[in-house]
Amino acid sequence: MPSTSNLLALAAAVSTASAAFQGFNYGASYGDGTVKVQSNFEDEFNNAASLVGTDGAFTSARLYTMVQGGSTNDPISAIPAAIKTKTSLLLGLWASAGRTSFDNEIAALKNTIDQYCGEIDDLVAGISVGSEDLYRISETGIAADSDPGCSPATLVDYIAETRAAIKGTCLSAIPVGHVDTWNAYSNDSNSAVIEACDWLGMDTYPYYQDTENNPVSEGASLFQAAFDKVTAVAGSREIWITETGWPVSGDTYNKAVASTKNARTYWEDVGCPMFGVTNVWWYTLQDAAPTTPNPSFGVVGSTLSKTPLYDLSCDGVDKTKISTGSGSSGSSSGSSSSSSDSDSAATPSTPATPASTPTGAQYSASYGGYSNSTATGIHSAYTTLAAASTPTSGSSSGSGSDSGSDSGSSASTAAGSSSTDAAGSSSGAQLNSFGAAAVALILAVAVL
Ligand SMILES: *[C@@H]1O[C@H](CO)[C@@H](O)[C@H](O)[C@H]1NC(C)=O
Ligand SMILES: *[C@@H]1O[C@H](CO)[C@@H](O)[C@H](O)[C@H]1NC(C)=O
């Protein structure tokens, strides 16, 4: 547990930097699959923090995996890079590649705790268990041929295991959550996952909502509608914006045109109102190395540069187009700038870092979390996202067949997975939390 003085120091540091976590998403590898090493992450983090027009505010990094590429469960090198550059982290455990892979994510989280406690304590904003895993087993995700996902019951298991792994460590106070598309949360069949989370990470791309009127001029209203839908099911949980953005180049989706001009408009309408107020990890700093994907969301091109492809300043911008309420900069995120409340500032989210051993396709997936083919296709699975804007609740989900790949890897959740109603999922969650408590006790003893 961090000491009071550490907490005060953190509160001061946080309040100096910004009122909320603000940064970008960072994949574990480049578009061609080349694994990033520590110096690559340092270059990216330093570049993000020095982007012209941003006043050095982009100092947080969301990761998709705890595992360094090429290793079984070594901590991802983004962690020492973040320590060196004073970059805060939203750690992520990849949850869509089955039990063995997730075990390695947990092992890497524990290895991170062993190696870096004392250095990362004040840097961790939160821990995300999974990324769009529920989207991938949704009707739209299956229709888009996305990767195997993860069932709600398995995710609840994984979340409990993650809590057990950080119990009694320097990351014990870090809030644990999940990242998914907005329509995954509004699907009643996934309610047990929400109940298991401290916060909800929302990914939203109006650009891909091609069954709606989605010119960039409607970007803010579509984003707001998604945020409101998640708010309706979030209870008291904060909603963190884990991915959103507009591409600078690429195909047109219905009325959505990719261009630097439109990327600027979306940044201005959607990003500026939230920066400093709500935790935001924008998509993305760079996705065009070594080659430019279609579409491309990077605010810089193939070469890192302090000069972005479009204006990133928020000076004089109308910040009324998005309202995220008071929740997202709340105390639970630790992102609070209220230096007088050392507790809330200190308790923010400094979760642990899980480890995974991505291989091949999973590696590509860990770049952005969408495609099983290449990192350049990371958002292809979103193409039909809008079709699910009004998810049917408690659907019989014959589509659950897709989750079979995941549930099969975790026998304990098989029963929960087959249950299509929220109640069934909830009971599974309770059973899982009992198991987690037992594991936590064992871990606590081990730590002592
Ligand atoms: C709702 O969620 C369940 C479980 O994740 C999934 O099987 C189902 O396909 C989802 N419904 C829709 C309409 O996508
Ligand atoms: C991606 O997934 C689809 C659907 O499961 C599959 O047909 C395709 O072969 C996969 N691509 C790669 C490169 O693994």
pLDDT at site 81: 98
Task: Fill in the amino acid letter for 249.
Answer: S
Mean pLDDT by 10 residues, the chain (448 residues): 48 53 95 92 98 98 94 96 98 94 97 98 97 88 77 97 98 97 94 98 93 95 96 97 96 95 98 97 94 94 97 96 68 36 30 28 33 32 31 29 29 27 27 30 33
Distance separating alpha carbons of residues 296 and 283, to the nearest angstrom: 10
Q: What is the pLDDT of residue 60?
A: 98
Best of 96, 139, 146, 229 to mutate for ligand 1, by most ligand atoms within 8 A of CB?
139
Given the CA of residue 391, which atom of ligand 1 is nearest to it? 13
pLDDT of residue 78: 97
Phi-psi map region of 35: left, alpha, beta (phi>0 left; psi -120 to 50 alpha): beta
In this prediction the pTM is 0.73
Q: Are residues 288 and 158 in the same domain?
A: yes
H or E stretch including 260? helix 260-266
Residue nearest to atom 6 of ligand 1 (CA): 138
Pocket flag, ligand 1, residue 385 (CB < 6 Å): no
**Residue 295: cis peptide before it, omega within 30 degrees of 0:** yes
- Mutation pick for ligand 2 pocket among 142, 145, 147, 371 (CB with most ligand atoms within 8 Å): 145
Largest CA-CA distance found in the chain, in angstroms, rounded? 59
From the candidates 44, 105, 132, 212, which is the catalytic residue? 132
Give the residue whose CA is nearest to atom 4 of ligand 2.
145
CATH number of the domain where residue 265 is located: 3.20.20.80
Q: Take atom 13 of ligand 2 and give the residue whose Cα is closest.
A: 373
Are residues 351 and 362 both part of a single domain? yes
Same domain, 78 and 36: yes
Cβ-based neighbours of 360, under 8 Å, separated by 6 or more = none
The pLDDT score that the predictor gives to residue 148 is 81
The pLDDT assigned to 326 comes to 52
Residue 339 Cα, ligand 1 centroid: separation in angstroms?
42
Ligand 1 atom 2 nearest Cα: 189
- The number of domains in the chain is 2
pLDDT at 417: 28
Distance CA 8, CA 340 (A): 9
> Which candidate in 139, 212, 243, 268 is catalytic?
243
| The pLDDT of residue 409 | 29
Both 397 and 383 in one domain: the answer is: yes
Q: For residue 312, how many C-alpha atoms fall within 13 Å in the half-sphere facing its CB?
A: 25
Read off the amino acid at residue 9: A
304 and 368 fall within a common domain: yes
Residues 5/343, Cβ–Cβ less than 8 Å: no
Residues 8 and 29 in one domain: no
Residues 106 and 7 in one domain: no
Nearest to 244 by CA among 220, 228, 261, 260: 220
Q: What is the DSSP string of 337-384?
A: --TT-HHHHHSS-----------HHHHHHHHHSS-SS-GGGTTGGGTT
148 CA to centre of ligand 2 in angstroms: 10
Residue 281 to residue 368: CA distance in whole angstroms: 13
What would the DSSP string read from start to end of 207-245?
A: GG-TTS---GGGHHHHHHHHHHHHHHHHTT-EEEEEE--
282 CA → ligand 2 middle, Å: 27
Measure the CA–CA gap between 317 and 314, rounded to whole angstroms.
5
Q: Which domain holds residue 14?
A: 1-19+428-448
Nearest to 53 by CA among 314, 376, 404, 340: 314
Is the CB of 417 within 6 Å of ligand 1?
no
Output the pLDDT for position 230.
97
Planar angle of CA 161, 114, 149, nearest 5 degrees: 35
Are 49 and 7 part of one and the same domain?
no
In this structure, the answer to whether residues 12 and 86 fall within a common structural domain is no
Q: Is 34 in the pocket of ligand 2 (CB under 6 A)?
A: no
Question: How many C-beta neighbours within 10 Å does residue 393 have?
Answer: 13
Residues 10 and 59 in one domain: no
What is the distance in A from the centroid of ligand 1 to the CA of 254?
25
* Rounded distance between C-alpha atoms, residue 447 and residue 443, angstroms: 6
Say if residue 296 is in the same domain as residue 333: yes
Question: Is residue 132 among the annotated active site residues?
Answer: yes
CA distance 447 to 364: 35
195 is catalytic: no
Does the beta carbon of 128 lie inside 6 Å of ligand 2?
A: no
| Residue nearest to ligand 1 atom 3, measured at CA | 189
Closest CA to 26 of 91, 80, 70: 91
- Same-domain check for residues 339 and 363: yes
Whether 12 is in the pocket of ligand 2, judged by its Cβ within 6 Å, is no
Compute, in angstroms, the gap from residue 108 CA to the centroid of ligand 1: 30
Q: Is the Cβ–Cβ distance between 256 and 214 less than 8 Å?
A: yes
Distances in Å between the Cα of 215 and the Cα atoms of 125, 183, 206, 313, 435 are 33, 20, 8, 22, 48
